[in-house]
Every structure is written in C-alpha cells, then in structure tokens.
Chains A and B, each alone.
Chain A
Amino acid sequence: MSLTDRIDPRPPKKIYRWDLDKTYLQTEFDTLRQLVRTALQKAHEKKAVPGAAALIRELRSSGDSRLCIVSGSPTQMRAVLAEKLHLDGVQFDELVLKDNLKNLVRGRFKALRGQVGYKLPVLLRSRANAPAEAEEVLFGDDAEADAFIYSLYADMVARRVGEPVVYQVLQAAEVYEDDINRVMKVWESIPQADPVRRIFINLDRLTTPASFAHYGPRLVPIFNYFQAALVLMADGHLNAGQVLKVMVELVQTSGYNLFTLSNSLQDLLRRGLPIAQVAQSLAEALQGPQAMLQVVRPVPDIIAAFTKRAASLGAPPAPLPTKDIDYLSLLDHARPRTHKKRKI
C-alpha cells in the first residue's frame, strides 16, 4: 500500500458481501446438539466451505474492493469468527453479527429467528456508506432466505420495487413496525443505483437450481466455489490465473478432481450461463508454465475433460430471460424455514 493510499484510501470499486454460516463456513445447526457444538468450536476447528477462502483472497487481491460480512451468528462469537477468518488469510472490512441477546432482553422473539428484519437493514446501512458507483456481488446460501433478501435489497437500491411492496413483504416477514420504519428511512437516504451485479447462492441443502428461477439470471445457485469463480471470470472480476488458484485449493484440500470440476463446468453451461469463452481461456491458462499448476496436472486431461463436457451438450440453450421479480408471490421465501406458515 502506498503512502497516499494510507492517508486517503481509494474508494472501493467493488463490494463483496458474504454470509458466514453455510456460505463461508461449513456449519451444522439443524439440531440442538449441532448448535451447541458450533457455539463451542474454536477458530481452528471451524471449517470453511471448500474454495471459499481462496475465492475471497483472489477477489480481494486487486486492492480496490471491500469485504462486508453479515451473519446471523450471535455477537458473542465475534472473536472466534474473526480469528477463523484471520487464520484463512481473509481480511474483512465489516463483520456484522446478530445481537440476539438484545432481542431476547427486549422480548422481541420474532426477531430471534427472522432474517429479513435483520439482514435487510444491515445491507441498506452498509450501502448508504458506500460510493454510489461501487458494484456489488453477494454470496449467500439456500438454508434460509438469502436469495429473497439479497434480491430484494438489489431491487430496492435500484428502485425496481415500490414502497407498498416492500412494506407488505416486511409485514409478512413479521418485522417489527419500528424496524420497518428504520428500513424505509435508510432506503430513502440511498441514492438510486443498480450496483448488484451477481448473487451467488451456495446449495448447501442441495436445493434444485430451478427453485431459484423466480429470481432471474442475476442470481446463480452454485454447487461449489469453482462455479462461482467461473461466473466471476465471465463477469470480469477474476482472471484465468485466479480461477485456477480457487481450483487448486479445491483439489488440494477437498478431493476435487477433473471429473467433478468438468461436471461443475458443464452444469453451468447447461443452465445457460455464458461461460463457454471462460472455459476456453481457462484451458489456455492451464497450459502456462506456473509451478502452481503442477498439482492439477495432467493438464491435457483437464483440457480434454472440459472440452468434452462442453461439446457433449450439442446446441447451447437460449440465454435466461430477465424479468421483474414478483416478491409478493415469493413471501414464503422470506419466512424462517421452520415458520408454521412456510409451505416450501
């Protein structure tokens, strides 16, 4: 970092917003036992989702981005979570955790489980402090309501969704009235822009990608972070070398191989994502002399596997259509998974 930067840091051009549990961390809290174990885990015992740390490191390497983490984990876990991120070499700018003790003391029991009333205002407040031209990429998972919240946030900032709809959504999500008013107020203060370029949903529960079709092509469900890296390369956030580094971490730490990687690539092609050119660039980069690539040798096999998977599909599908999201028809997605009214 230059002296000028230290005195007057460059404003971020890109903002990467991440959830933690089931997006960055492999967390299990479906049972009370798992919940207790997760709460008691030390930083070095926590496991990151394969490839997540490498992807963040590569996204941050250009130095003109911010990493903002918003998680439903309790504030009491701040130290251990910060230490885990530090151990993984992940530097963050914001780490917002949920103050459930405060909710409990104030008797706001609906807020204990609610995600919309917690995450949406946090995202909006963070956006209010960001440069209007900064682009955003959001990372969540399929465990709760990330797809809904992130999409709503993106459309609120872009003013693609009106006040009455937002109000109805927040009421359906059982957000307290004073919190609704706060959301509306922060929203008003944000200049209109269309910063959210991509939303990635990590399919921790193996929800079918088609279940997210309502959210349009901006949202990409992913089975692993190699898929996210490929799309981010197509979007201009990463270059081939950086994607390869994510690939290397997956191979070295999580047993990925050319079959699982080439199948992952083909899955995106089948879903109509425009990554055919990316696959080609990646194949070319694989032929480079970098020592790092030794771990993913034999290179000809990888190139052949990628090419074969792409070629075996026949004609490419039509690009996915873009249309406005009907949030009122998706209200169920905004409710906690265990909510009695939730039908999906």
Chain B
Amino acid sequence: MSEQRPVTIAFDVMGGDHGPIEVVKGAAQLTLDAPNVHALLVGDRTLIDEALSQVKHTAERIAVHHAPDFVAMHEKPAVALDARPRCSVQVAAELVRDGEADGMVSAGNTGAGVLACARTFKLIPGIRRAALATVYPTMVGHGDKNDPFSLILDVGATVDASADDLVAFAVMGAAYARIISKNMDPAVALLSNGTEASKGPARVVEAHQTLATIKGMRVIGNVEGVDIPKGTADVVVCDGFVGNVCLKMLEGVSETVMGLAKYAYKEKLLWRAGLAMLSSGIERIKEVTDWEQYGGAPILGFDKLFIKAHGRSKSRAITNAGKVAAKAVKSELAKAIQSSLPS
C-alpha cells in the first residue's frame, strides 16, 4: 500500500452565509487543483450530498462525515456548543484532533470556531493564548512575492493580552508570514500610540523590551495606527481588543470611500466622467487587494490548524482557505512556531 499520506482538510460545511453549496464547491475544487489534498466534508450528510451532486469533483479525494447540528451566525458560541455538542464545527475539530484530518476550515460563527478549537486542540507549549490573525491590503508590497497584504494579530481571540502573549503573537505572526507569504525576513512591529519604545501601556512597553532580545526575528519596534495601511510592518501585533477595533475601522473606511464614490457618481456628470477614467485603476486595486485570494484568517497558537474563512466566502475563497491550510500543515507551522519561541 502506498505510504504517501495525503493532507486532509476538514471543512465545516454548515456555517457560511451562502449555505453548504459554496463550501462544498470550494472544497471540491481544492481536491481537483491539488491532487495530494483530500477534503473531509463535515455537516448534514443529505445537504452535502445534494451540493456535491451539483459540482465537478473526484470522489477518491473527498469523504463525508455526518454531523447533525450546526451553530448559526447569531448564536452565542458557548451556549450553542454546550447545547449541540455534535454540531459541525465541533465534530470537525474532533476529527482533526483524532488525526482524521490535518487542519480545518470554517466559514461559520467565528466565536464557535475558536471555542471549539480551544476545547479540542492543545496550545503549543510556550503559548498561553491563541490569536486570530488576518491579512489587510497596504500601500506597499511585502516579501519576495511583493504581496500587497500585511498580517495583523490578534484581531479578536484574546481581548486582554499580556506582554508575554504579545511576544508569542509576534513569533507566531512571523512564522506564518515566513511560511504562507514566503516572506523570509518579515518586519514585525507592535501597535502603539507612538514609535518610541517607552510609548504605550505597560504590557506593550514590556513586550517591546522582550522582543528586542529575540534573535532571528526582525523587530522594527512600535508602529502607529497610521502605519497600518501604509504597510510599514509585515506583521503588526496587538491585543484582540485593539486589533478588532482596527480591523472594523479599516472595513468602515473602505465602505465609506465606496459610498462616497457612489454618491459622486450620481451627483455630477464631471465626477462620473472622472470615475470612469479611473475605472481600470480601481479594478486593478480591487484585484491586488482581493481578500478571497487569501481565503481566511488563521487561528494561531494551537497544535492543530484552523483557518476561519469569512462568513460571506464564496467557493474561490474556500478553495484558497483550504490551500493555505494545506500549505501550513505541510510546512509544519505549529512546529515552526514552537521552535521560534524564546526559551
């Protein structure tokens, strides 16, 4: 029997805004694009079969695991997981824990996904709290691939992080950038209210001091909020509360700019003409900042990988989330993080 073991990614099929079809379609496409990656579809078996019947796939690389329940977007994670322990995201996490799959992807309720991981996976030795990382578009390219995205973490998993947690987040973010973005020497920075080492709350100042002592990691000190969209750092580190506020603000600014553009388009013929002239440039910006190419946000810190795809992910984003998960598994991200931690 051939011993070459494929990488298997468990997909929580039930949680996304578009229902099972987009997740199944994305997972099926992943197995066609990457022959050594298998998909384990977790959720209501009837709905999965119905979705699979509509998409091109190869049955040799897809398996289904029935899970009778799921957590809806609006539900409180702890309450939902306690009430329905056989929900798809929890079952998917257990399958990963038991070695049936190597990593998992979910487009469902973020809190439920993080909680399922926390209840099921182990933290990497040396890591006290997990972090949710996400990419965001910046003005400059990063790494060998001239990637327009930077990584920010934590954006919501650990609301109140200590100095040690921030240091661990920095190490995890740098490892992720090295492995996934192929940015071999990422610039890592702490988010603060000034670039000076003494600026910021005590935990940030303390983390700054510790980070300065870590060898093999390019720490550029503190960055301010204004540096986030500028792309001054490849990896921006903050606690979950600050990170989440920043992320939502970036999304809000983006929506406001789009709203203003729409207003301008309707208001004056001259402005409309101006926007029309800029349209190819706008399209290009949309292309390079297309979040779907990144698929999702990794939860870092556990011994197993979880990629949280956006709730409104369509099949392409799911496929890419699966590819990122497979890449992280093949590159042994957890081990890379552990070996980078200060002893």
Contact B2 A257 (CB under 8 A): yes
Given contacts A255-B2, A259-B8, A298-B1, contact A208 B57 (CB under 8 A): yes
CB distance from B198 to the nearest CB of A (A): 55
Q: Does B64 contact A (CB under 8 A)?
A: yes
Residues in A neighbouring B53, C-beta threshold 8 A? 208-210
Considering the complex, which residues of chain A in the window 299-322 have a beta carbon less than 8 Å from any beta carbon of chain B?
Answer: 301-302, 308-309, 312-314, 317
Q: Which of A98-106, A128-136, A179-187, A263-271 is near enough to bind chain B?
A: A263-271
Closest B residue to A268 using CB positions: B59
CA distance A207 to B58 in the complex (A): 9
Q: Is A71 part of the contact surface with B, judged by Cβ < 8 Å?
A: no
Chain B residues within an 8 Å CB radius of A259: 5-6, 8, 38
In the bound complex, what is the Cα–Cα distance between A295 and B3 (angstroms)? 11
Mark out the residues of chain B between 49 and 70 whose CB falls within 8 Å of any chain A CB in the assembled complex: 49, 52-66, 68
A270-B45, A312-B66 known; A295+B61 contact, CB < 8 A: no
Q: Please encode chain A, from 206 to 222, with 1 for each CB lying within 8 Å of some chain B CB and 0 for all others.
A: 11111000000000000
Residues of A within 8 A of B5 (CB): 257, 259
Q: Are A313 and B38 in contact (CB under 8 A)?
A: no
Assess whether B68 is in contact with A267, with CB atoms less than 8 Å apart. no
User: Does B57 lie within 8 Å of A263, measured CB to CB?
Assistant: no
Q: Among B3, B57, B65, B100, which residue has its beta carbon within 8 angstroms of that of A206?
A: B57
Measured CB to CB, the closest approach of chain B to A82, in angstroms, equals 31
Total number of residue pairs linking A and B with CB closer than 8 Å: 78
Q: Is A242 an interface residue (CB 8 A)?
A: no
User: Are the CB atoms of B49 and A270 closer together than 8 Å?
Assistant: yes
Whole-angstrom distance from the CB of B206 to the nearest CB of chain A?
48
B343 adjacent to chain A (CB < 8 Å): no
Q: With the chains together, A210 CA to B63 CA distance in Å?
A: 17
Check A313 against B55 for contact (C-beta < 8 Å).
no
- B58 and A206 within 8 A (CB): yes
Count chain A CB atoms within 10 A of each CB in B46, B64, B100 and give the residue with the most: B64
Size of the chain B interface, CB-CB below 8 angstroms:
29
B53 to A, closest residue via Cβ: A210
Residues of chain A with a CB closer than 8 A to B213's CB: none
Q: Is the CB–CB distance between A266 and B64 below 8 Å?
A: yes
Residues of A within 8 A of B3 (CB): 257
Q: Provide the bound-state CA to CA distance between A208 and B60, in Å.
A: 13
Asked if residues B60 and A223 are in contact (CB atoms below 8 Å), the reply is yes
From B54, B60, B64, give the contact of A260 (CB < 8 A).
B60
The smallest C-beta distance from B135 to any residue of chain A, in angstroms, reads 31
| CB–CB B45/A314 < 8 A | yes
Q: How far is the CB of B31 from chain A (nearest CB, A)?
A: 10
Return chain A residues, CB-CB under 8 Å to B54. Answer: 208, 210
Chain A residues within an 8 Å CB radius of B68: 314
A224 at the interface (CB under 8 A from B): yes
Pairwise interchain contact A260-B1, C-beta atoms closer than 8 A: no
Instruction: Give Cα A207–Cα B65 distance, bound, in whole angstroms.
Output: 23
Flag whether B280 is at the interface (Cβ < 8 A).
no
- In the complex, the answer to whether A263 meets B66 with C-beta atoms within 8 Å is no
5 nearest CB pairs, A to B: A210-B53, A267-B59, A314-B66, A260-B60, A257-B2
Chain A positions near chain B (C-beta within 8 angstroms) = 206-210, 223-224, 227, 251, 255-260, 262-264, 266-267, 270-271, 295-298, 301-302, 308-309, 312-314, 317
Interface CB pairs A-B, < 8 A, 29? A206-B32, A208-B53, A209-B53, A210-B54, A223-B58, A224-B60, A256-B60, A257-B1, A257-B2, A257-B6, A259-B5, A259-B38, A260-B61, A263-B60, A263-B62, A266-B59, A266-B63, A267-B60, A267-B62, A296-B1, A297-B1, A298-B1, A302-B1, A312-B63, A313-B45, A313-B64, A314-B45, A314-B66, A317-B46
Residues of B within 8 A of A (CB): 1-6, 8, 32, 38, 45-46, 49, 52-66, 68, 100
